[in-house]
Chain A
Amino acid sequence: MSIKSGIRKIRSSMVALTTSALIALPALAGTAMAGELVINTDSSFPAVKKAFQAAVTGFEQENPDIEVTWNVFDNEAYKSAIRNFLSAESPDLATWFAGNRMLPYVNAGLFAPIDDVWAENGLDKTLKAAESAVTFNGTKWAVPYTYYQWGVYYRKDLFAKFGIEVPTTWEEFKAAGAKLQENGITPVAIGTRFPWTAAGWFDYLNLRTNGYDFHMAVTRGEIPWTDDRIRKTMGHWAELLKAGFFLENHAAYSWQEALPALVNGDAGMYLMGNFIVAPLQEAGLTDDQLGFFQFPVIDPTIAMAEDAPANTLHLAAGARNVAEAKKFLAYIARADVQTMMNEIMGQLPVNAQSSVADDPYLQAGFKMLSNVDGGLAQFFDRDAPAEMAKAGMEGFQEFMVKPERLDKILARLEMVRKRQTQ
């Protein structure tokens, strides 16, 4: 392109800009009267983006007088962007996570309470599964629109080949692992380079050893890390470590990099959230090869509790279109909307009246979560305050490689806890 034509191009685009601004001006004034709604979401993953697209389109069809501006952020970038946009130029609604993760924004007065939305729409009945996770000081702070189960994903075909039954108790679980080892298979695949995966094991071992209430008290920082009950949990973990249950060099891999072990049949099980299914299927595992089971019972006197992290939609304190925003919150809480969105995302709807997609893993997860008596945790890094979460996850990673340092690790975590509760 010659310089001259380049300049001409710039000039013509400037003209276009000014004219479009002239046209846009009255248009803007027009929509302001009709009602606007600004939603920021962290839905850059294709399936999640598609689900939100469908939700927004559906809402606009039902409410033609409301114009929705929907901003999609990259998932990782969103985590720092939300701090800026909530305090500077606030949208009306923003996606975030339930549990302790929302507290910094609640405490800073950046999220607004939505008790009225819950009361008017009877959400305490339909969204009961995640109610406690979005309640703080007796006030509701979000509408949960999706969640997913955690559990053990395993190689059904390998279990069948070596005559291993799906383990339901701790002894059976250890026996199943031993049987796999006899046949040259590592029982459990895991990648702890990003150490949150190790926290999944802590969550489950602690939930099964000491129960939901105790586990939540630990994540809230009410129990010293040097408590004997935590030592008991770590003791169960040490049994597996001593027996060489986990993939070698797991600290060198991310959770994705540990997947080939399961796909190639070098490992038999993987404790993970349901999002593990999609990459495993893409890697070629069929439903005949891949199965799901609930994390086995350790202490039969303790009610079963599960990790089931929920994603949430929050009303920003700086929202300008509060009425429209609350309308959208009520909309996204609805059974039919959650059915539709979660079918696209491949996750579980929170609304009890929604139906679950026809998928063996989702159905299994739904059945499991419907029968939970103990309670639903949000996952360690959402239940514990950020600093404690980070120290905890690094401590668990270190413990998995150097179990003999348990005392030192627990002492360090206790120091962090004390500072946090000061």
Chain B
Amino acid sequence: MSYVTRVWQDHKAAITPWLFLLPGILMFAIYIVIPIFQSIAISFYRWDGLGEKTFIGWENYRELMRDDIFFTALQNNVIWLVLYLLALPAGLLLALFLNQTTRGIRIYKSLFFFPFVISQVVVGLVFSWFYDPSFGLFNTALMKIGLSPIAVLADERYVTYGVIIAGLWPQIAYCMILYLTGLNAVDGEQIEAARLDNVRGWRMLWYVILPQLRPATFIALVVTVIGALRSFDLISIMTGGGPWGSSQVLAYYMYEQAFSEYGFRMGYGAAIAVVLFAIMLIYIGFFLAKMYRDEKGR
């Protein structure tokens, strides 16, 4: 028996899983892990993507610290994160409302889920028209009740909130569908038992239903936080980061600096990407720790 076959025979059980993992590991390394390190490396250079790279050390990061728009973007990311979490209770509310057996309920469910199915680009366009100061529904309504119109997307005070509301529309639908599937798995016997003990209303929801929805809540939280941090499409469609950078978020600012018509500052874009990555890392760390604890607890 040759050496190779002997090793194979002896360690078959140990080697096999790695063989199966290999394609995945390779892909993950090439498309995710290595680019992360490349981005970190590029963030120390000045580079227009065409000519020579110049090493400038921490200069890109020093510039970030002096960059007003960067801090606007950072602040907006926090606002996005906080307000996006509203999708959870709103989605739960809708799910509870739709979780009944009436004629045609499936149609209502699919209609409520619809905003998640259509492209974010379409959502952005629809809301751009909705906010349009001259013919948009929003301002027509404001004027009907005697208020003066507000150009939401052109006003630095409201623009971020305007875009977040557009983003919440599909996000709520997504959370709703997660909770609807969660509600399917709720144990009827426990509800019966609680009923016998005369539990109803809020107490039923809080002490009986919600604990059983924990897996759904967890997934909804994860997708919502990630959705908030990577918000990009809506900003690109509705405002382009404007007016004058007041609706920027990190993901879009990174794209703009690195790849847009007036950008091609690869180093600076990479530096923004690294900061965004660091923020996500905190969250991912928390997420992994929780997973680990849950697995261990079982």
Contacts and interface: CB of A to CB of B under 8 A. Distances in A.
Interface of A: 79-80, 83, 87, 104-105, 107-108, 110, 192-195, 248-252, 381, 386-387, 389-390, 394-395, 397-398, 401, 412, 415, 419
Contacts of A250: 154
B34 interface: no
Contacts of B263: 386, 390
Nearest to B262: A390
Nearest to A257: B132
A316 to B, nearest CB: 13
A251 B131 CA distance: 13
Contacts of A412: 68
Contacts of B151: 249, 251-252
Nearest to B264: A386
Interface in B42-60: 48-51
* 3 A-B pairs with least C-beta separation: A251-B154, A390-B262, A252-B154
Given A195-B242, A395-B244, A249 B261 contact: no
Contacts of B265: 387
Contact of B262 (A108, A193, A389): A389
Interface of B: 48-51, 63, 66, 68, 131-134, 149, 151, 153-154, 239-240, 242-245, 259, 261-265
Nearest to B239: A193
Given A249-B151, A252-B132, A193 B240 contact: yes
Main secondary structure of the interface of A (DSSP, over half): helix
A394 B242 contact: yes
B50 A397 contact: no
Given A104-B50, A386-B263, A194 B240 contact: yes
Given A83-B50, A251-B151, A252-B151, A104 B63 contact: no
Contacts of A386: 261-264
Given A107-B51, A110-B50, A419-B63, A397 B262 contact: no
A249 B265 CA distance: 32
A82 to B, nearest CB: 10
B244 A394 contact: yes
Given A104-B51, A401-B243, 12 more contacts: A83-B49, A83-B264, A87-B50, A104-B48, A110-B50, A195-B244, A248-B133, A249-B133, A252-B133, A381-B262, A394-B242, A398-B243
Nearest to A386: B262
Counting chain B CB atoms within 10 Å of each CB, the highest count among A192, A251, A386, A394 belongs to A251
Counting chain A CB atoms within 10 Å of each CB, the highest count among B48, B50, B66, B244 belongs to B244
B111 to A, nearest CB: 30
B262 A251 contact: no
Contacts of B244: 195, 394-395, 397-398
Contacts of A79: 261
B50 A251 contact: no
B26 to A, nearest CB: 25
Contacts of A248: 133
Contacts of B132: 252
Nearest to B256: A390
A83 B133 CA distance: 38
Counting chain A CB atoms within 10 Å of each CB, the highest count among B48, B50, B243 belongs to B243
A108 to B, nearest CB: 4
A105 B151 CA distance: 40
B50 A193 contact: no
Contacts of B239: 193
A194 B237 CA distance: 11
Contact of B259 (A80, A389, A419): A80
Contacts of B259: 80
A383 to B, nearest CB: 13
Given A83-B49, A110-B50, A251 B243 contact: yes
A104 B262 CA distance: 12
A387 B268 CA distance: 12
30 contacts: A83-B50, A83-B264, A104-B50, A104-B264, A105-B50, A107-B51, A108-B51, A110-B50, A193-B153, A193-B154, A193-B243, A195-B244, A248-B133, A249-B149, A250-B154, A251-B151, A251-B242, A252-B133, A252-B151, A386-B261, A389-B262, A390-B262, A390-B263, A394-B244, A394-B245, A397-B242, A397-B243, A398-B244, A401-B154, A419-B63
